[in-house]
């Protein structure tokens, strides 16, 4: 069981969701975050104040999956999120100790594997 964390461009949200759906990955959590990777900073000017925006808007996908789904999830994130330019984001995979589906009380594998119906 792993937690796949994908940081992607906000404008790629729909593409990522679509490719995750195609990969049959159903459970996702999405949040708006700000961060800095290696990308060129944007320079913005507000009247006399010129600033360098060190943080860029990103979306953070959190997807808990059973081991069989890890590669498919990573591939889907890459396929949906890639533009080829600096700033496409990163994927982190971390081990997951426990997962519980609140509705049924199922744990671990049963809790993160898509419901077949």
Partner 1 sequence: MGALDTVAAAAIDTGDTAWMLAATALVLLMTVALGLFYSGLVRSKNTLNTFMMSIAAFAVATVTWAAVGYSLAFDGTGSLVGGLGHAFLQGVDLAPREGSTIPHIVFFAFQASFCIITVALVSGAVVERMRFGAYLIFAALWSVLVYAVLAHWGFGGGWLMGNGTLDFAGGIAVEMGSGFSALAAALVVGARKDYGRQALLPHNAVYVVLGAGLLWFGWFGFNGGSGFGINDAGVLAFGNTLLAPACTLVVWFALDAIRGRKVTAIGAATAIIVGCVVITPAGGYVSPGWAMALGALAAFPCYAMIVWRPRTRVDETLDVLAAHGVAGFTGILLLGLVAQESWNGVSDGLLYGNADQFLWQVVAAAAVPAYAFGVTFVLLKVLGALMPLRASEHEEALGMDIVQHGEEAYVTGEGAILISSPDAAEAGEQRGVPVANPI
Does position 103 interact with partner 1 (CB under 8 A)? The reply is: no
Handedness of CA 10, 8, 78, 22 (dihedral sign): negative
Residues 6+ apart with CB under 8 A from 20: 28, 61, 63, 73, 76, 77, 80
Closest approach of Cβ 7 to partner 1, in Å? 15
Judge whether 21 and 71 are in contact, CB under 8 Å. Answer: no
CB of 23 to partner 1, least distance (A): 19
How far apart are the C-alpha atoms of 45 and 116, rounded to whole Å?
Answer: 52
Give whichever of 83 and 107 is closer to partner 1, judged by the CB atom.
83
Instruction: Give Cα separations from 19 to 16, 70, 83, 92, 97 (angstroms).
Output: 5, 14, 14, 18, 27
The answer to the question of residue 31 lying near partner 1 (CB under 8 A) is no
Residues 32-91 that bind partner 1 (CB under 8 A): 34, 36, 38, 40-46, 48-55, 83, 85
By CB under 8 A, tell whether 9 contacts partner 1: yes
Q: What residue has token string 């964390």?
A: 5
Q: Which is nearer to partner 1, 45 or 117 (CB)?
A: 45
CB of 22 to partner 1, least distance (A): 15
Residues of the shown chain interacting with partner 1 in the complex, contacts defined by CB under 8 A: 9, 11, 14, 34, 36, 38, 40-46, 48-55, 83, 85
């Amino acid at each position: 069981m792993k937690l796949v964390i994908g940081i992607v461009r906000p404008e790629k949200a729909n593409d990522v969701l679509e490719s995750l759906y195609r990969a049959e990955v159903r459970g996702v959590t999405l949040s708006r975050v700000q961060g800095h990777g290696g990308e060129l900073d944007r320079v913005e000017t507000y009247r006399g104040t010129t600033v360098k925006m060190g943080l860029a808007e990103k979306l953070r996908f959190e997807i808990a999956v059973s081991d069989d789904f890890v590669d498919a999830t990573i591939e889907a994130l890459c396929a949906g999120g890639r533009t080829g330019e600096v700033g496409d984001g990163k994927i982190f995979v971390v081990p997951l100790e426990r997962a519980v589906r609140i509705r049924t009380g199922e744990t671990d594998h049963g809790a993160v594997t898509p419901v077949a119906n």
